Amino acid sequence: MINLLPTPLKKDIKAARANNILVKYLVVLFFGAIFLAMISYGTFLILDSLKTSASNIIQDNTSKSAEYLELRSQVQQADNQISGSSNIINQEVKYSKILTGLASIMPSGTVIDQISLGQDVFLTNSSITFYASTADAVAKLKNSLEASAPSGLFRSVNFKALSGSDQSTVNGYNNKLTVDVIFNKEFAS
C-alpha cells in the first residue's frame, strides 16, 4: 500500500495518536492519584482514630496510676507502722520473767521488801532489800545471788548491807540484806 498523504498531514496524524496516548496516560494517572489520595485519607482516618483511642487509654492509665500511687503510699505507710511496731515488740521486756527468776533463786525463809523495775534496771544499779528468817537463809540467798551473776538473771551483784537483830523487823524476818544489782536484759526478753 502506497501512502499518498501529504507529509504535514502524516505528522498531524502521528501527533494526534501521540496526544491520544498521552490523554489515556493522563486519565490513568489522574485516577491513580485519586486512588492514592483515597488510600492516604483512609490511612489518616485509621491512624487518627488509633491516636484518639491511645490517648484515652493513656488518660485512663494515668488516673489509675494516680489511684495506685495513693494506694502504694498507704501500703508503704502501713508497712512503716508495722516495722515500727515490730521494733517495739522486739524490744519488749517481760518483767514477769525477772520476778519469776528472782523468786526461783530465793531460798525458803526469805522475802523481798522492796524492788523497783523500770527500763533503767538493765543499765544502772537497782537496790533490792531482802529479809530472811535465819542467818542460814541469808547465806543461802547470798550464794544464790552470786551464782546467778554474770550470765543468768544478773549482770552484776554488789552486796551493800547485812544486818540482823533479835527484834522482828518484818513479820518474823529478823535479818536484812540490801543488794545492788544490774539485771541481764537477755534474761527478760
Supply the mean pLDDT for the chain.
84
Q: Which three cell numbers stand for residue 172?
A: 518474823
- Please say if the pLDDT value at position 122 is more than 70: yes
d(C-alpha 144, C-alpha 106), whole Å:
7
Residue 60: CA count within 13 A, CB half-sphere:
6
pLDDT tier at 170 (50, 70, 90 boundaries)? Answer: low
Give the model confidence (pLDDT) of 39-68 as tens digits: 999 999 999 999 999 999 999 988 888 888
Which CATH number is 95-188 given?
3.30.1360.100
175-183 and 154-164 as β-strands: parallel, antiparallel, unpaired?
antiparallel
pLDDT tier at 104 (50, 70, 90 boundaries)? Answer: confident
Residue type, 136: D
pLDDT (0 to 100) of residue 138? 83
- Return the domain boundaries, the chain: 1-92, 95-188
Inter-residue contact 160 to 181 (CB < 8 Å): no
pLDDT (0 to 100) of residue 34? 97
Which range scores top for mean pLDDT: 26-35, 76-85, 116-125, 174-183?
26-35
pTM of the model: 0.50
* DSSP of 14-34: HHHHHHHHHHHHHHHHHHHHH
pLDDT (0 to 100) of residue 50? 96
pLDDT (0 to 100) of residue 15? 93
pLDDT (0 to 100) of residue 65? 86
